[in-house]
Structure formats: structure tokens, C-alpha cells
Amino acid sequence: MTGNRTTVVASALSLLVLASCSGGTPANMEPVSRGDSYQAQYRDLPHPVAENPVLRSAYMNSARCTQQSGSTGGKGSGYVPGALRGELLSRGDLVDLRLPDDATFTGEFVVSRDGFLKLPFLPPIPAQGRSADQVKAAIRSALVSGGYYADTPEVSLLVMDFAPARVGVSGAVFEPQSMDIGGIAGDTVDNRRQAAIGASTEGRNLSVALRGAGGIRPDADLSAVRITRAGTNYTLDLRGAVEGRGFEDVMLMTGDEVYVPSRQCFQDELMKPGPLSPPGISLYLSNLTQPASSNATSAIGQVVREVPYGTRYMQAVIDANCVGGPRATSANRSAALFSRNPLTGNSVVIERKVEEMRTRADRDDYDPYLLPGDSIACYDSSVTNIGEIGKLIGVFTLGTLINN
């Protein structure tokens, strides 16, 4: 029995030693410790703390930026080419055509899959990428040239409903993909609006497509966003969208391709909510620590927690209930951030002592912004770990006594 007790004590002492040890600095393939990864805020905390600290992360990030490509071609900020202006028809759009006292050509028509408006007895009218006024003029010309009218007739052509548009978005966005934007579905239909003559939509705007692709990344070059339409490239300057200035939110149509170039650097000024930013961040959290006994009691869902875009690491640590509790047992917690560099695809891990971040004057310089898909894991303090080991020793001792 004495030998068993000695074994239990020796095992307990070994566990106490392990409990007081840290797991070491996380290893990364990228130069995270120097601040040369995606965010300079990832770099290691210097010791000792500088007496007169200077916040350098934003400067370190911007120093790696390539020059903005620019999109205006000398025509001024916010310039939008005429070919992208206004509401242009796309396949699937519903139009209302009316001619006075003419039942043959009056009716509701849908722009066909090949982009033409097909009317009785007339050759197909090109409609894709044209305004309603341009299509109306083509119809009037076709009616005269087809011999149906001697003089140019009065024609009304109004859009009744804009169909969804299938577009592609790539480049410096979080989720490059093809998608359908716009349209009305299910219980969102407004019957009075649907019955009215005329239509408008914000659902086919460029900003909708960018948000649908996860939003712009912090390395995006908003001065040179490219739209490819029918083989022609158009370049837009969207910096006004994040600078509080007006910008023309171009309406897209089926077949458009959007490309957001990258400046190959992290731009702190883009980490804020806006019309081009992600709607929020799906953050993966784990807090199986004291004083919270489980994720459920920590109000953490089974999979993710949604936090606003622009949230920082320490805000998420608090959101995960990793901070607080008795100082004597809980103050020395640490938290690890698991992220991924979107430029290289490499994962990165950083770990911070929560109490050290709380007390440093230069804490902002080492408090990284969170990106979609990031994860936070909390670790107990050494005191709490030792307390848990003490409970474990009690279980071992009780089991030994029972067995003997």
C-alpha cells in the first residue's frame, strides 16, 4: 500500500511539473514572429516593454503595399464608363411593351437566354446590355422597316421585373465564386410592387456581388476594380465606398466578371464595416476553462459565433469568456489565435497571455484584426491547472485506497 501511495505521489508531482510548463511558442512556416506575415500585429511581444512605446503595426503593414493601380485614366476619382451606367437589361428580365390600339405587339415579354427580345413577326431585337430606351428605339425601327407602320409609332417599353444575374467574382475577396444576385423569391415578394408597371433593383449592384463573395480582403486594391463585360474590360475606383464618399454602385448583368486586384499587403484602414466588407465574421471559439465549465454555459454555439467585421483578437477573447474571474486563479490565462494568410494559404498561430495584453501600454500594436474563419482557443492559468491536477490526485488516491 505504501508503494502504491509513493507511485501516486510521484505521478502527481510529474503532473504538477507539466501543469506549470507552457506549451512553447507555436511554430509557423511564415515569419510571423517578426511581423512579416499577413498582419504585423501577429509579431511577438517584446520584453521588456518600451518606456515610450510607439504604435508601428499600421506603418509596417503599409510599407509592404504595392502602388495603387489607379482606375480613372486621368478622368477623376469615381469616374464610371458610360457603358456601365444606368439600368441595363439582362436575360430573364420582364418588360411591358405597349402600342396604342395594337393588340399584336402589345404584351409582356421576357429577354431570352441568348439576350434577345423576341416579338411576334419581328426579327429578334438585341436587348442584353442595352437600356430600355435603346431597345424601344430598335423596336420602333423594326416596326417601320417591317412594313407594319408607315410612320414611326408611339411605343412604351417599361421593365416590370429584373431577373437574377449570374456573375463571377475573383481576386482579393474572401470567397471567390460565381453566384446569382438580385431577383425576388419566396415570401419576400411584394405583391403591389410586382403588379405595378416599372421596376428597379438594388440586388444586382456591384456591392452585392462583392459581399456575396465574402467581401473585400484587407489587401484589396480598390482603386482598380475590374468589370469584364462582353469581352471588354472596365476599371472602377471604389475607394469612396470605404472613405465615406459617394460612389456609383454599378448594376451588373448576367455574364459580368468582377476582379479585385491585390496590393499584397494588409491595409488597416479597410478593416471596418462598409458596403464592400463582409457582413460579419464567423468566428470559431473554444472555452472549456474555469470559471466556465463548458461551451454551452459560455453561450458559445456548437459551431461558430458571429462578430462584427473589424473585431480584434482581444475583443473575441472577452467574447469567449476567457477573461475575468478570481485574479488568484484565473488571471494568468492565455489564448491562441488560429488564422490563415489569404495571400499564401498558410495557416498561422499566435498565442498571447491575456493579463499581459491587458497591462501593456502598447497592446494595440499586438492586437490583430480577426478574419473570416479565424478560431480562438483559451487555456487555463497554471494555478487553475494545478487545481485540476489536485482534483485528479484526489481521484487517484481515493482509487488506491479503495483498491487496497
pLDDT digits (tens, 9 = 90+) for 314-352: 998 888 878 777 776 667 788 999 999 999 999 999 999
Per-residue pLDDT, averaged over 214-231, amounts to: 96
The pLDDT of residue 227 is above 60: yes
The pLDDT of residue 395 is above 50: no
Give one word for 264, left, alpha or beta, with left for phi > 0 and alpha for psi -120 to 50: left
Instruction: Tell me what pLDDT residue 241 has.
Output: 92
Instruction: Tell me what pLDDT residue 296 has.
Output: 56
Q: Which long-range contacts (CB under 8 A, 24 or more apart) does 27-33 make?
A: 28/346, 28/347, 28/348, 28/349, 29/346, 30/341, 30/344, 30/346, 30/348, 32/348, 32/350
* Domain ranges (residues) in the chain: 2-64+277-388, 82-86+163-264, 94-161
Please, are residues 207 and 249 in contact by the beta-carbon 8 Å criterion? yes
Instruction: For residue 2, name the pLDDT band (cuts at 50, 70, 90).
Output: low
Tens of pLDDT along 277-312? Answer: 998 888 787 765 444 555 555 555 545 678 899 999
Kindly state the DSSP code that residue 94 receives in the 8-state scheme. Answer: E
Residue 313 burial (CB count, 10 A): 24
Q: Residues 208-246, buried b or exposed e (16+ Cβ, 10 A)?
A: bbbbbbbbbbbbbbbbbbbbebeeeebbbbbbebbeeee
The residue that leads in pLDDT, 82 or 229, is: 229
Rounded (5°) CA angle 33-305-208: 95
pTM: 0.81
Instruction: For residue 60, name the pLDDT band (cuts at 50, 70, 90).
Output: very high
Spatial CB neighbours of 320, under 8 Å, sequence gap ≥ 6: 285, 286, 287, 298, 300, 305, 335, 376, 378
Tens of pLDDT along 111-153? Answer: 999 999 999 999 999 999 999 999 999 999 999 999 999 999 9
Domain 82-86+163-264 belongs in CATH node 3.10.560.10: yes
The fold of the 94-161 domain, in CATH, is wza like fold (3.30.1950)
Cα–Cα dist 348/342, whole Å = 11
Tens of pLDDT along 73-121? Answer: 445 567 888 888 888 999 999 999 999 999 999 999 999 999 999 999 9
Instruction: Tell me what pLDDT residue 74 has.
Output: 46
Give one DSSP letter per residue of 272-299, joined into a string: S--TTS-S-EEEEEE---SS--STTTTT
Cα–Cα dist 31/128, whole Å = 50
